[in-house]
Amino acid sequence: MKSTSYLEQEIYEQPEVIGRLLEAELENARRLAAAIRARGVQYAMIAGRGTSDNAGRYGQYLFGAMNRLPVGLATPSLFSIYAAPPRFGDALVLGISQSGQSPDIVSVLAEARRQGALTAAITNEPDSPLAAEADHVICLHAGVERSVAATKTYTAQLAAVALLNAALSSDPAHLTALQAVPAATRQTLALAPEVRRIAQRYRFVDRCVILGRGFNYATAFEIALKLKETNYIASEPYSPADFIHGPLAVLDESYAVLVIAASGALLAEMRSAIGRIAEREAEILVISDDDATLAAGKLRLRLPVTLPEWLSPMVAVIPGQLLALHMVLERGHDPDRPRGLQKVTLTL
């Protein structure tokens, strides 16, 4: 009998996985960056499902903000079901999949390759069908993922995206900054006792809203997905800009609201969103490295390390992963057996 769950073990493997990936994949990332420059890539399309789609969302902001590359998230059904796939032209088409098996994601890359576009894959399985369709592969080096709810492969996918972003950049400081991430994730894991206390308070939460924007828009999506998969909570991720365009109306005191507010360009806006939501009597948990922002929440989880904003998603998601784990334990379920789910999901 295993003493802890796969979910818990894999959460704690993250510092090591990210460190391994950053070292092993630097050259692959540089080769892909060189190909992007050499091919005169105009924009990128990223295809992924679930957790991998959230990693793509991070890439959308990162490549846009730091390398001025427009990024769209692909619509796989256009490739797997509808008859006439888009013409990619001078695009980079990037598939992200832990297993590299998803037929719809493979179909996007296969079509891109057929058209002669530049293709790349980020996957934990370099021998997978997805990798076979890619001109360039960045491998996650995460070891076998046994937990149904992905954690270590999510942050590894973020690290792969961040590594490519740094390789694309003309500023070598970006690569240096990345080296701080493994230690920062390790320090962030020390939040577990505080998270456990919040998980007790959250024992009967059944509706939840998670707000993040910019680089941490992906973080909001990923934490929401973890809470759904493991705790069956109706948890919805939003940018505060979208949230106040309508969904705000749902809020009442039955809601738990999580706000991801890392230091950076968006901090002021996240703080003003907290003020707006506090008027609605929902209880707010702030996840931030900034003391003034933390003080605006009823509950707080203080990120122990301040990273550059673009790297913050790799630490900001960790309290959410720990929360999913401790909530499922408080509720007496098995973290490794979420109802109705399988590890690899094959969709067209």
Using DSSP, how many helices (H) and how many strands (E) does the chain show? 15, 10
The minimum distance between CB 193 and a copy of itself, in angstroms, equals 27
Cβ proximity to a copy of itself: between 78 and 132 the closer is 78
State the Cα–Cα distance between residues 254 and 77, nearest whole angstrom: 37
CA distances in angstroms from 273 to 198, 257, 310, listed in the order given = 22, 11, 20
In order of 26, 157, 319, the CA distances from 131 in angstroms are 17, 14, 31
Question: Judged by CB, which is closer to a copy of itself: 9, or 75?
Answer: 75
What is the closest distance, in whole angstroms, from the C-beta atom of residue 294 to a copy of itself in the complex? 21
H or E segment to which residue 302 belongs:
strand 299-302
Q: Pick from 230, 237, 166: which is nearest to 208 by CA?
A: 237
The least distance separating a copy of itself from the CB of residue 84, rounded to whole angstroms, comes to: 6
Query: What does the block give as tokens for 83?
Result: 């008859």
For the CB of residue 29, give the shortest distance to a copy of itself in the complex, in Å: 20
Nearest to 224 by CA among 207, 241, 240, 243: 207
Closer residue to a copy of itself (CB): 86 or 143: 86
Is the CB of residue 112 less than 8 Å from the CB of residue 78?
Answer: no
Tokens of 92: 């980079």
- Report how far Cα 121 is from the mean position of its chain's Cα atoms: 16
Instruction: Provide the minimum distance between the beta carbon of 343 and a copy of itself in the complex, in angstroms, as a whole number.
Output: 11
Q: Is 232 helix (H, G, I), strand (E, B) or coil?
A: coil
Query: Considering beta carbons, is residue 188 or 219 the nearer one to a copy of itself?
Result: 219
CB of residue 318 to a copy of itself, shortest distance in Å:
19
Nearer to a copy of itself by C-beta: 23 or 90?
A: 90
Closest CA to 211 of 298, 300, 158, 274: 274
Residue 106: CB minimum distance to a copy of itself, A: 13
Look up residue 339 and give its two tokens: 């109802």
C-beta closer to a copy of itself: residue 103 or 126: 103
Nearer to a copy of itself, 25 or 336 (CB): 336
